[in-house]
Structure formats: structure tokens, C-alpha cells
């Protein structure tokens, strides 16, 4: 399930960017910081059932997600990038990990392992001092 967080739920702050923009870097506030709290979100409450909400809160482990974008020349593009990053974080947190199915080693793998152990044992035996009785 893919969830999309609307812009109205994200709180934005703007600052002067160190990214591209030429002489406008010193005049315009193109850097965008976005803050989103999953526990206060209407979208999470409406679209996710309680199990998915718990999984989301457990995977995020934070009260509030903050994302910064200053890679574009305009505030609008950076704002869009912040929304995209937050949505990507949310959707990654909602993915369920596949359970690992344990397998037994094959007969050939066991034989190769034992053969390698024998070779190492022989090599170490040859390093020992020779004793003449």
C-alpha cells in the first residue's frame, strides 16, 4: 500500500540556501525544511489500520520527521522535493520485511567444507618439527 502525505500536513521553514542560484543565493530563501509528525497526521489515521500505524511508528522511532532540500534554484522545486522525500520515507517504513526461510546445507557443500578442513589440517601438520625415533 502506498500512502501520500498532502502538503497541508507538512510544516515548512525557509532559509537561505548554499546550493545553486548564482547571485540569488544571498538574497532569496530557497532552502526548504519540512517537518511532519505521524502521530498528528489525519492521513495516517484515515488510511492505515492500527497494525500498519504501529509498524510505521516503530520503524520511524521519532516524534517528528524533518527533511531538508536545497538542491534546486527555486523554493517551489525544493518544497516539492521535501514532500517527495517525506513520502518516500513513509512508504519505506510501511514495507514489510520478508521472513528468511532457513535452509540446510547441501550434501556437496558439507563435503567441500570437510575437504577444505582436511587440507588445512595437512598444511599445519607439515609445519611441525619432524621427530626421528
State pLDDT tens for residues 54-113. Answer: 777 776 767 788 899 988 888 899 999 999 998 888 888 878 778 899 999 999 999 999
Query: How many percent of the chain have pLDDT more than 90?
Result: 30
Query: Angle CA(66)–CA(68)–CA(48) in degrees, nearest 5?
Result: 40
Q: Between the CA of residue 61 and those of 38, 50, 54, 95, 100, what are the distances in Å?
A: 10, 16, 10, 15, 24
Name all domains of the chain by residue range, CATH numbers in brackets: 7-94 (3.30.160.20)
Amino acid at each position: 500500500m502506498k500512502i501520500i502525505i498532502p502538503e497541508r500536513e507538512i510544516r515548512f521553514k525557509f532559509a537561505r540556501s548554499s546550493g545553486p542560484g548564482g547571485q540569488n543565493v544571498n538574497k532569496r530563501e530557497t532552502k526548504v525544511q519540512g517537518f511532519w509528525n505521524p502521530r498528528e497526521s489525519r492521513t495516517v489515521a484515515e488510511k492505515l489500520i492500527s497494525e500498519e500505524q504501529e509498524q510505521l511508528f516503530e520503524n520511524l522511532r521519532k516524534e517528528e520527521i524533518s527533511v531538508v532540500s536545497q538542491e534546486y534554484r527555486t523554493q517551489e522545486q525544493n518544497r516539492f522535493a521535501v514532500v517527495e522525500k517525506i513520502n518516500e520515507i513513509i512508504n519505506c517504513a510501511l514495507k514489510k520485511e520478508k521472513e528468511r526461510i532457513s535452509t540446510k546445507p547441501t550434501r556437496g557443500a558439507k563435503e567441500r567444507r570437510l575437504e577444505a578442513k582436511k587440507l588445512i589440517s595437512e598444511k599445519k601438520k607439515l609445519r611441525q618439527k619432524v621427530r626421528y625415533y
